[in-house]
Amino acid sequence: MMEHAQEALFRPVRAGNAFEETVERLMQAIRLGVVAPGERLPSERDLATRLGVSRVTVREAIRSLQENDYVESRRGRYGGTFVNEVIPKPAPGKEFGDIHDALTLRKVLETGAAEAAAGRSLGPAERRGLRARLEEASTASVGEYRRKDSRLHLAIAEATGSAALTAAVADSRMRVNELLDTIPLLEPNLAHSNAQHERIITSILDGDPASARQAMAEHLDGTASLLRGFLV
Amino acid sequence: MMEHAQEALFRPVRAGNAFEETVERLMQAIRLGVVAPGERLPSERDLATRLGVSRVTVREAIRSLQENDYVESRRGRYGGTFVNEVIPKPAPGKEFGDIHDALTLRKVLETGAAEAAAGRSLGPAERRGLRARLEEASTASVGEYRRKDSRLHLAIAEATGSAALTAAVADSRMRVNELLDTIPLLEPNLAHSNAQHERIITSILDGDPASARQAMAEHLDGTASLLRGFLV
DNA sequence: CTCCAAAGGTATGTCAGCGAGCCATTGGCG
DNA sequence: CGCCAATGGCTCGCTGACATACCTTTGGAG
């Protein structure tokens, strides 16, 4: 009993070395669609400052992304590092240590975010942003769906106004996406998913927290049972 | 809009250097009551392994705790590093950058945890553990209340069976406790708090998720408005 | 057409943190 | 009574990461 709490508190202070964590972050930005294909990453110097890491480390991380064709770099003014169109799947050799863990945290965070977002008075810019992400997700092709979907869910987290919550959702989503990437994405699921998104966003924009939570819960339960089914 | 998501993703990869983060973790274990006064911390070698940090770094962290009278070390077999009774308050020079942020995340995590815990079928050991923590909190003196309170809330998180959620709750609590430490702890609040704890635990043990969430939400709203009141 | 700002590319000296090993102390076990 | 296992205490060389500085490329502004 006591021991479990100690496990949580005495977990490793570092998830990996600076290089690995930097790669992880850049991957997140790309996989979650925060920087879309064709768009430019912040400059190396900028990234180094923001990530609290030396430029050398940022460059090593970017190099590793280049070698896997995630990005391309161009020199000169108005150059930079650009996200490629085709995103190769990483090797699937994943260990599904604790699906329950990942799904539990996701449900808590995202239903909570939906409720909190609905309970806030959103500005016009935020409302427009949410509708835009919804539209993007609903018109996305199968290939770009996961990315657009993540952008929408991230936008909901952002709408809570809590940076820490947004960061937590991003991490959680990354973890669950790694699992989702190993199972097929089917058209019917996609249509169903879009309908649910519609309900969630409507509830949030209407300022109905209970309904937003409920809609998000149903949405997440869908993919959760899909996952559990495929990964028995 | 897009920029806010980038802020979350391109946040610093390291919260501080290894030494600082190690101190932070050990402080958490003590302040949250995971290792109670008089009890022994894991051995330096053990901590180094678990925290993923060199023994040298662990020792530096422990030394810094010794200098502030948080712990004492004894050599020899059956020696170790022991938590002191009196816990000096740290200097209060805190910057309340974003109370909203901390409180939003806490509410999401802890109401979610209460609901998830109530939705699970708990083993006898877990049920006993929850009752024990409840009892400890309800009989705690003012001096030890915050610690016992945190232990109870952590136990609820543990009861979800999600390590990631437990870790997230621990971090969030630490953040909020830093704020709470700057305002007085009054007897009436304490009694009220105990009554709410009772409701929360009862709901969880009865397997009533909606009620557990509701009770936890009310409980948290209490301290939240208290905080907002004091820190206007 | 020239200049230059802003981006990626490169090199170097410094230091925190690590690994590994050894020492010193202590109290129970044989 | 002596041994010895487990703990804290200490040292030293190695490596990853950093800060800083400079070089190269590029395309728009003047």
- Closest nucleotide (C1' vs CA) to B79 is D7
Check A12 against B51: CB less than 8 A apart. Answer: yes
Quote the strand ranges of chain B, DSSP E: 71-74, 80-83
Check B101 against A52: CB less than 8 A apart. Answer: no
Indicate if A74 and A147 belong to the same structural domain. Answer: no
Q: How confident is the model at residue A20 (pLDDT cuts 50, 70, 90)?
A: very high
Indicate if B32 and B72 belong to the same structural domain. Answer: yes
Indicate if B112 and B221 belong to the same structural domain. Answer: yes
pLDDT, tens only, A48-76 = 999 999 999 999 999 999 999 999 999 99
For A8, which of B7, B100, B166 is closest by C-beta distance? B166
* Full domain range(s) for residue B26: 18-83
Indicate if B67 and B150 belong to the same structural domain. Answer: no
> Is there contact between B55 and strand D, defined as CB under 7 Å from any strand atom?
yes
- Nearest chain B Cα to A104, which residue? B162
- Closest nucleotide (C1' vs CA) to B58 is C17
Query: Of B83, B111, B129, which closes a domain?
Result: B83
Indicate if A74 and A142 belong to the same structural domain. Answer: no
Check B25 against A10: CB less than 8 A apart. Answer: yes
Measured between beta carbons, the chain A residues lying within 8 angstroms of B126 are 1
Indicate if A214 and A186 belong to the same structural domain. Answer: yes
Q: Is residue B1 part of a domain?
A: no
Indicate if A117 and A68 belong to the same structural domain. Answer: no
What CATH number does the domain containing A47 carry?
A: 1.10.10.10
Measured between beta carbons, the chain B residues lying within 8 angstroms of A107 are 112, 116
Check B163 against A7: CB less than 8 A apart. Answer: yes
Check B108 against A165: CB less than 8 A apart. Answer: yes
Chain D nucleotides near the protein (CB, 7 A):
4-12, 16-21, 24-28
How many domains are there within chain B?
2
Q: Is residue B130 part of a domain?
A: yes
List of chain B residues with pLDDT < 50 = 1-2, 93
Q: Is residue A8 part of a domain?
A: no
Indicate if B64 and B157 belong to the same structural domain. Answer: no
Q: Is residue A94 part of a domain?
A: no
Q: Is residue B174 part of a domain?
A: yes
Give me the residue label for tokens 């077999």. B77
Q: Is residue B119 part of a domain?
A: yes
Check A168 against B126: CB less than 8 A apart. Answer: no
Q: Does A149 have pLDDT greater than 90?
A: yes
Chain C nucleotides near the protein (CB, 7 A):
4-12, 16-21, 24-28
The pLDDT of residue A1: 43
What CATH number does the domain containing A147 carry?
A: 1.20.120.530
pLDDT, tens only, B28-39 = 899 888 898 999
Q: How confident is the model at residue A79 (pLDDT cuts 50, 70, 90)?
A: very high
Q: What is the mean pLDDT of chain B?
A: 89
Indicate if B224 and B116 belong to the same structural domain. Answer: yes
Q: Does A232 have pLDDT greater than 60?
A: no
Least confident range of A22-26, A114-118, B92-96, B192-196: B92-96
Indicate if A71 and A109 belong to the same structural domain. Answer: no
Indicate if A69 and A105 belong to the same structural domain. Answer: no
Indicate if B51 and B139 belong to the same structural domain. Answer: no
Query: Of A26, A50, A83, which closes a domain?
Result: A83
How many whole angstroms separate alpha carbon B148 and alpha carbon B165? Answer: 19
Measured between beta carbons, the chain B residues lying within 8 angstroms of A53 are 12-14
Q: Is residue B88 part of a domain?
A: no
Counting one residue from chain A and one from chain B, the pairs whose CB atoms sit within 8 A come to: 190
Q: Does A95 have pLDDT greater than 60?
A: no
Q: Is residue B65 part of a domain?
A: yes
Residue A74 to chain B, least CA–CA distance (Å): 21
Measured between beta carbons, the chain B residues lying within 8 angstroms of A163 are 4, 7-8, 11, 98, 101
